[in-house]
Amino acid sequence: MRLVMLGPPGAGKGTQARMLEQKYGIPQIASGDLLRAAVRDRTPIGLEARRYMDRGALAPDELVVRLIEARLEEPDARRGYILDGFPRTIPQAEELDSALKRHSQHLDHVLAIVVPDDEVIKRISGRRTCRNCGAMYHMIFDPPRNQSICNDCNGELYQRDDDAEDTVRMRLEVYHAETNPLLSYYEQSGILTRIDGIGRPEEIQQRIVDVLDRLRARA
Ligand code: AMP
């Protein structure tokens, strides 16, 4: 099963994608995680991408496409995957379509998690990320057992620079301008479902699983 998760920053794409990863045994592939790893490892792509990420802008399509295409070639992605944060622009979606076509594959479904802007800002300002494994917490809605330590791996929790409020507003603007058009793009292909992103993570997961179950029953 090949899925794409769309939605503004803070919509819960990562949380939902990780839950789907557990449920269906296919990897979550997050372009943001791949880019942050490249920044951490100081690769040429990381050094270039960092200039955009720090101010909440999108990294150039060509860099992100290179990272994603390499990741999709890995053996664990053969049976399917959940793309989280990619594609984010129409050219990225077109590149993904061409790559899939080259392998005689297609996307099964695109899930767009819908969350209003003011909710996004509230959610992101409390968000903390594990420096080691990438797990995410919210200081109010999903606090770690210890203020600054990851429950899963004991890694250090930190607030990403791009989670500061001004940068979040910028990321939302970018989302509306660059990524929102993807909803019509995939709607035209008949593979998009909008999911209400308000509620507990388990409730939202259930909405997604209901959609996927219905699709599988039709297949
Ligand atoms: P995320 O973790 O998905 O919120 O991504 C963090 C940052 O990485 C974004 O604000 C962008 O600067 C960059 N990024 C992640 N995915 C993409 C993408 N598909 N295209 C361009 N930039 C991206």
Instruction: Supply the pTM of this predicted model.
Output: 0.88
Determine the pLDDT at residue 55: 83
Which pLDDT value is given to residue 60? 97
For the cut 90, the answer to whether the pLDDT of residue 157 exceeds it is yes
What is the band of 1 on the pLDDT scale with cuts at 50, 70, 90? very high
Q: Whose CA is nearest to atom 5 of ligand 1?
A: 32
Summarize pLDDT for 37-58 with one digit per residue, the tens.
Answer: 999 999 999 999 999 998 889 9
Question: Does any ligand 1 atom lie closer than 6 A to the CB of residue 144?
Answer: no
Active site residue 13: yes
What's the CA-to-centroid distance between 207 and ligand 1, angstroms? 25
Place 165 in a pLDDT band, splitting at 50, 70 and 90. Answer: confident
**160 included as an active-site residue:** yes
pLDDT tens, position by position, 174-203? 999 999 999 999 999 999 999 999 999 999
The residue from 2, 13, 71, 123 that is catalytic is 13
Q: Please indicate whether residue 17 or residue 125 has the higher confidence score (pLDDT).
A: 17
Ligand 1 center to 28 CA (angstroms): 15
CA distance linking residue 84 with residue 109, whole number of Å:
13
Q: What is the mean pLDDT of the chain?
A: 94
